[in-house]
Chain A
Amino acid sequence: EADIYQTPRYLVIGTGKKITLECSQTMGHDKMYWYQQDPGMELHLIHYSYGVNSTEKGDLSSESTVSRIRTEHFPLTLESARPSHTSQYLCASSGVGGPRSFYEQYFGPGTRLTVT
C-alpha cells in the first residue's frame, strides 16, 4: 500500500548526540518535506526537496541537515541535539507520480523527539 513511513516513532536522547530521523515514501512522489510541530501547534517548515540531489531550507532550519539521494528517502540529521529540539517531526510528500492528486501533500505519522 502506498504510504509514508517514519522511524523511529519515539526517541529519547541526551544533549550533544547526533541523530538521524528516517523518512521513506512509497507514494512515488517527487517532492518531500520536513516539518517541526509542537503537539497541535503551528507547523514549521524545516527543509524541502523537489527531487533527487535538490534540497532547500525552510523557515526553521533548526541546525539540521537533509539529503535526497533516492527519490523515496529523505532523512533529517541533527548534528548535536539540544533540549530546544524537543518536538514532533513530521515528514510529508507530494507531487508527480503519486496515486493521489498532484497537489495533495500527504503527511507521515511523525517522530516524537525528546532531548534530555
Chain B
Amino acid sequence: GENVEQHPSTLSVQEGDSAVIKCTYSDSASNYFPWYKQELGKRPQLIIDIRSNVGEKKDQRIAVTLNKTAKHFSLHITETQPEDSAVYFCAASRAGISGNTPLVFGKGTRLSVIA
C-alpha cells in the first residue's frame, strides 16, 4: 500500500520568510495530492491540492510542486504570517475513474511563524 513520509516534523520561520514542507510517496499509481492545514483545536482544512497531470499549482502565497518521477511533492508558503502557524499534513491517494483509495496522510509538520 501507499506510504507517505513528511519532513520536517517541526519548522520555525521568521515572519515574512518562506516555508517549505516536503513529502514523498511510494505508490506510483497515486494521482491526487492534497495539503491540509489544522489550526489548534480545529478540524483539518484543505488549502491546496494537485493532480498528477500538473507539475505546479499556485494560490496566492501558497504553491505546491509535484515531481512524479522522484515521487515527491512540496508545499511552499511565501511571505509567512503569524496566522500561518498550524500543523500541515500532506496526503496521497488514487482518485478517479480507474479506482479510489483512501487518503494516506503524512505525520504532519508543525509550523511556527515568529513575529
Contact = CB atoms under 8 A, between A and B. Distances in A.
Given A40-B108, A43-B105, A104 B44 contact: no
A94 to B, nearest CB: 8
A1 to B, nearest CB: 16
Interface string A89-116: 0100001000001111111111000000
Indicate the size class of the contact surface on chain B. Answer: 20 to 34
Contacts, number: 47
B108 A42 contact: yes
Nearest to B95: A103
Interface string B10-48: 000000000000000000000010100010111111100
Interface in A42-91: 42-43, 45, 48, 50, 58, 90
Contacts of B102: 33, 45, 48, 58
B87 interface: yes
B110 to A, nearest CB: 7
Given A41-B108, A43-B89, A103-B95, A108 B100 contact: no
A31 interface: yes
Given A103-B32, A103-B49, A107-B45, 15 more contacts: A39-B41, A41-B107, A42-B107, A43-B105, A45-B102, A50-B100, A90-B43, A101-B49, A103-B34, A103-B51, A104-B34, A104-B49, A107-B43, A108-B43, A110-B43
Interface of A: 31, 33, 39-43, 45, 48, 50, 58, 90, 95, 101-110
